[in-house]
Structure 1
């Protein structure tokens, strides 16, 4: 994996729901590319959940999260939108919009309870949905003699390179997914393993989604 993580949710759009002290909290979360996407998504959920007590939202945009917006939508200031935004950022999600809809169940939660409820709904939802890292890869074609195939395959597997395809002809042609930042290291490794006998063709860049397995945190600075 690269040092700078480019994480998003594992689905383009997803829903998660839980009940906290008789109130329903429904998370709708989606990938977005720009502010028009974000506003269209928010409006869609507002219409869909127009009978709700609150539709609290937050989103982040840009390579460095340069756009960060949120709304408490009538909940006490600082108890809803900000905790949601912090959970999104603390879990390194980018270009994502989240709406947590609340249907009030008759029991007041207090400021701390609201913060935990909104932050926790986003965190629990993201954990349930899953995260992926968007990685820039090249498809690299390696043509190698049969006599070197098994040892090269073993080296690839030991170094966690993904073999996408294998074709058998007069020689063996492997298609391997390699991160853009590792191309030079990969080429040197294959050259060493095959004593310079393999031929390599580096294909175009593509974005691939790699599952990201670390735990999701509900940590927020809103609770002191």
Structure 2
């Protein structure tokens, strides 16, 4: 069984999109995010940009193996805004993404059906304007070794064309000798095989970075 180790996300934030429906304006935005904490400053920026808007509705999906999502109606009738937006995130199969639709009321009520349609369409045209890219799910490992074994480690890294994230030297307290610590990232489907190679090398320790 092949391990799924890719996911789709947006490359960068979208341009502003605009949908007009019975004099109401729906401004759509999409942003790449990796945690819920990133959402608050984005919404605050949009509130400054649209001081007269009544609703800042959004949905996000975060994660790859474990998915976290949220849909927020921000005062619109229940499930008339957040869930239609979230449905588009699912349709476009993107994660680590938030779509926010800002509504300026135009004086005519749209009804729940009209709202669902408007929020869905706004999210759709916003995601259509995005550059959707495929990324790999990577596992990060820390390799630690005595300095004398540096060549052994670097040979495997070179042969297997591994990505080095960080590389540093420390002095081991017990011996006063230098030790190397290298953080590497490996595609999930190759991770176990690479870890086994390092495990088989004498005097070299490899652990998943938490």
Q: If the TM-score is normalised by the length of the shorter chain, which range does it land in?
A: 0.5 to 0.7
| 3-state secondary structure, aligned to 1:97 | strand
String of CA shifts for 1:164-215, please: whole Å, max 9, x gaps.
Answer: xxxxxxxxxxxxxxxxxxxxxxxxxxxxxxxxxxxx95423489xxxxxxxx
Distance 2:104 2:6 in 1: 35
Q: CA deviation at 1:95?
A: 0.7
Deviation at 1:96, TM superposition (A): 0.8
Scaled by the length of structure 1, what TM-score is found?
0.57
- Residues 1-224 of structure 1 mapped to structure 2, 5 A cutoff: 5-64=6-65, 66-135=67-136, 202-205=160-163
Separation in 1, partners of 2:57, 2:109: 17
> How many residue pairs get matched?
144
Q: Are the structure 2 counterparts of residues 110 and 69 from structure 1 closer, same or farther at C-alpha, using a change threshold of 3 Å?
A: same
Q: CA deviation at 1:38?
A: 2.0
CA RMSD, Structure 1 to Structure 2 (Å): 2.5
**For the Cα contact (< 8 Å) 2:92–2:127, is it kept in 1?**
no
**TM-score, normalising length from structure 2?**
0.60
CA–CA separation in structure 2 for the residues paired with 1:114 and 1:96: 22
SS in 1 for 2:29: strand
Please, which runs of 5 or more residues in structure 2 have no aligned partner? 139-157, 164-184, 187-210
SS at match of 2:15: strand
Shift of 1:111: 0.9
Secondary structure of the corresponding residue to residue 57 of structure 1 = strand
Could you tell me whether the CA contact under 8 Å between 2:11 and 2:32 is conserved in 1?
no
Determine the C-alpha separation between the residues in 2 that align with 1:79 and 1:65.
Answer: 26
Any idea what the Cα deviations from partners look like across 1:53-99, whole Å, max 9, x if unmatched? Answer: 21111111111453211211111111001111121122211011121
Runs of 4+ in structure 1 deviating by more than 4 angstroms, as ranges, are: 2-5
